[in-house]
Amino acid sequence: MNLNLDFSVVLERWPSLLDGAMVTLQLACIATVAGGAIGILCAIGRRSGPPVVAALCEIYVEGIRNTPLLVQIFLVYFGLASIGLQLSAMTVAALALTINVGAYTTEIVRAGFESINKGQIEAGQGLGLSPAQVYWHVILLPAIERVYPSLTSQFVLLMLASSVTSQISAEELTAVANYIQSDTYRAFETYIVVALIYVVLSLVMRAGFFGIGQLIFPRRRRLGTPL
Amino acid sequence: MGGSLNLNHLLFLLQGAGWTVVLSVLALVGGGILGFAVALCRVSASRAVRLVSGGYVQLIQGTPLLVIMFLTYFGLPAIGFRISPLAAAGASLTIYVGAYLGEIWRGAIQSVPRPQWEAAEGLALSRTQRMTRVILPQAVRIATPPTVGFFVQIIKNTSLASVVGFVELARSGQIINNSLFEPFLIYSIIAVIYFVLCYPLSRLSRRLERRAGQGRGQTLAPA
Amino acid sequence: MSPAPTSATGQDPAVRLSDVHKSFGTNKVLDGVSFDVPRGSVTTIIGRSGSGKSTALRCIDRFERIDRGEITVCGHRVHEPSLDLRALRLDVGIVFQSYNLFPHLTVEENIILAPTAVKKMPKAEARELARRVLAQVGLEEKLHAYPEQLSGGQQQRGAIARSLAMQPKVMLFDEVTSALDPELTGEVLKVIEQLAADGMTMVLVTHEMAFARGIADQVVFMHRGKVHEIGPAAILSSPATQELAQFVGTGL
């Protein structure tokens, strides 16, 4: 046994660790924005689209939710390659994560839609709002506000899951860690440090989402209660 | 790059799928035991116990499973503990699943209505008796749908054991691919097998949830 | 109390139902319902639950489509497929049993939403309007409150104000006090009485018999999907049919 731990050789590499952390955050942000948009669109498609669209959205959601992210990443990676598209590892990673989180977002937003009762919609119609206005003001906005906590937890989980993209050599935090540990032979210390960086990143994301929530939901800011 | 996909390859994949199931059940049992302890600690009367268990949950829920895998498989040998791929994967998943199931079950325990706790107290039951006779039986019913849902996450998460060399479904696919080099085809087959394992459980979880009358979607943890 | 206009003025009624039929599946809910609501008058629809009274009201604002018959509301031919739904709902305001204020918006935002989104009213003007209609229902001080911060009675008054802000020609009230605690119904009924005094054309479905008697120019008693008895409020004191007598007698 050899318990003389030496974190200094790992901490010396802080510039690469910082780079990796930034790439991880970048991946998370891209996938959150793009996947969030896809999720909202698919939730609308499932609720109000023609049967074919609704079915396609459902197949997408169930397909993604019932297969591992690792396999999805390889499928995107090799699928694009097989049709002759040679994209960078970063692009493939962002794409796969977007597709993945889009399905989870769909499911969460759909639950939000289901929580809007019929009376609310009738009240909007009774005021003369057009179907699109009812959708926006009475269904979508309150639904998003209601599921915002679940959505943001999902986005934090996505950031953590982005570590899997190290398997196609996206240069994010876990890939940096693999490189450092093979270089320093300090696997234990490296992964401890990296685990803590991930913990910090998730705290940063949660704080960020809290701030955004305060900014875009005035009701939440004033009352602090769930909708 | 020899040959094309044949029956032997498929049998090899199914064998991998078998190990995926074994590892999933292992993780559910191990993580379940740990998670049960965590849930009880999280509602403990002692503040210190609540804090420590809460810290554990926060720490694990802030760390990717893949990093935990690397830490046990590459990190432990580096400080002198030899560990097999199965043990490393099993231990990592147990630690990981324990934190998430602990949270799910804590939520279930705490969502047993307040009057039930008070009624049990009014009957002069001890704290242990209140837990085992009154609260837990009700909590189990509340916790069943999300637990089944989380088992789907566990199955998917076992795919990460492939990166530490444990030959489950995803790793079997990689091995076959090394000789056939038909990655898109092979990963498609693997995806279908995962889907066949997971989808019925997802459906079951949703049905249980609907029957329990709580319309909350179980949407934890990608990966 | 607004004077009941006589039919001799030659004016079209605000609302006219003629021989309206409506079924949900095999369940016949409206079975040849006809009545007029003259402009500036108050009609209350009473009857047991399941008598079709709420359905009749919802048909007027086209929340239900009728199977047969005709409904005309302020010149809009509601039964026709070509109906301009938006124009109808500009002329008709409806208030529901469950208030249905939008929970993510303040009272003011609830009120200005439709005027700004539908009528394209400038925001400042809509805010001024919100202040006015809230004063009308006695809720000025709750301008910036969220619905969850209000009592049921206050929420319902807010919903009435929201509807008033669209300056409808006809207002429909669907059991607006049924979800309220008894001590809160009074404040809502007072607001409705004031509207009646101001000459608003109104149709109310209600369980409050004393209120129905006090406010109505016309009472419609529905029984098994038909208008069983119709007339001035006095019919409640001297029912012509056994069913109405029984209904009034039980107080429900």
Rounded to an integer, what distance in angstroms lies between the CA atom of residue C177 and that of residue C207? 8
| Structural domain contains residue C148 | no
Q: Encode pLDDT of C57-99 as tens digits.
A: 999 999 999 999 999 999 999 999 999 999 999 999 999 999 9
Residue with structure tokens 């970063």? A90
What is the band of C1 on the pLDDT scale with cuts at 50, 70, 90? very low
Binary contact (B219, A187; C-beta < 8 A): no
Q: Encode pLDDT of A186-202 as tens digits.
A: 999 999 999 999 999 99
- Among candidates C61, C93, C98 on the partner chain, residue whose Cβ is nearest the Cβ of A119: C98
- Among candidates C96, C106, C148 on the partner chain, residue whose Cβ is nearest the Cβ of A119: C96
CB C60 within 8 A of CB C139: no
Q: Encode pLDDT of C168-210 as tens digits.
A: 999 999 999 998 888 889 999 999 999 999 999 999 999 888 8
Give which of C62, C85, C88, C100 to mutate to test A binding, by max A Cβ within 10 Å.
Answer: C100
Residues of chain A neighbouring B183 (CB-CB closer than 8 A) = 74, 78, 82
Q: Give me the pLDDT at residue A70, please.
A: 97
Residues of chain A neighbouring B199 (CB-CB closer than 8 A) = 62, 66
Smallest Cα distance from A131 to chain B, Å: 25
Residue C5 has pLDDT above 80, yes or no: no
Contacts 24+ apart (CB under 8 A), C127-134: C129/C165, C130/C161, C130/C165, C133/C161, C133/C162, C133/C164, C133/C165, C134/C107, C134/C108, C134/C158, C134/C161
Q: Record the tokens describing residue C80, joined without a space.
A: 């026709």
Q: Encode pLDDT of A95-136 as tens digits.
A: 999 999 999 999 999 999 999 999 999 999 999 999 999 999
Q: Give me the pLDDT at residue B210, please.
A: 86
Smallest Cα distance from A127 to chain B, Å: 29
Structural domains for chain B: 7-199 (1.10.3720.10)
Residue A221 has pLDDT above 50, yes or no: yes
Helix (H, G, I), strand (E, B) or coil at B222: coil
Average pLDDT, integer, range A49-74: 97
Q: Kindly give the confidence (pLDDT) of every residue in chain B, 223 residues in length, as a single tens digit, with 9 standing for 90 and above.
A: 456 888 899 999 999 999 999 999 999 999 999 999 999 999 998 999 999 999 999 999 999 999 999 999 999 998 889 999 999 999 999 999 999 999 999 999 999 888 888 888 888 888 888 888 889 999 999 999 999 999 999 999 999 999 999 999 999 999 999 988 889 999 999 999 999 999 999 999 999 988 876 444 444 444 4
Q: Which 3-state string (H, E, C) describes chain C? A: CCCCCCHHHCCCCCEEEEEEEEEECCEEEEEEEEEEECCCCEEEEECCCCCCHHHHHHHHCCCCCCCEEEEEECCEECCCCCCCHHHHHHHEEEECCCCCCCCCCCHHHHHHHHHHHHCCCCHHHHHHHHHHHHHHCCCHHHCCCCHHHCCHHHHHHHHHHHHHCCCCCEEEEECCCCCCCHHHHHHHHHHHHHHHHCCCEEEEECCCHHHHHHHCCEEEEEECCEEEEEECHHHHCCCCCHHHHHHHHHCC
* Number of independent structural domains in chain C: 1
* Cα angle: A52, vertex A58, A64; to 5 degrees: 135
Mean of pLDDT over chain A: 94
What is the band of C6 on the pLDDT scale with cuts at 50, 70, 90? very low
What is the band of C250 on the pLDDT scale with cuts at 50, 70, 90? low
β-pair partners for C227: C222
Using a threshold of 3 CB pairs under 8 A, tell whether chains B and C touch.
no
**A21-172: CATH number:** 1.10.3720.10
What is the band of A161 on the pLDDT scale with cuts at 50, 70, 90? very high
Range of the domain at C51: 15-97+170-250
- What is the value of pTM for the model shown? 0.89
Average pLDDT, integer, range C158-163: 96
| Structural domain contains residue C209 | yes
Is the Cβ of A1 closer than 8 Å to some Cβ of chain B?
yes
Residues of chain A neighbouring C148 (CB-CB closer than 8 A) = 223, 225
Q: Give me the pLDDT at residue B223, please.
A: 40
Smallest Cα distance from C86 to chain A, Å: 5
Give which of B20, B169, B181, B184 to mutate to test A binding, by max A Cβ within 10 Å.
Answer: B184
CATH code, C193: 3.40.50.300
Binary contact (A122, C113; C-beta < 8 A): no
CB A61 within 8 A of CB A106: yes
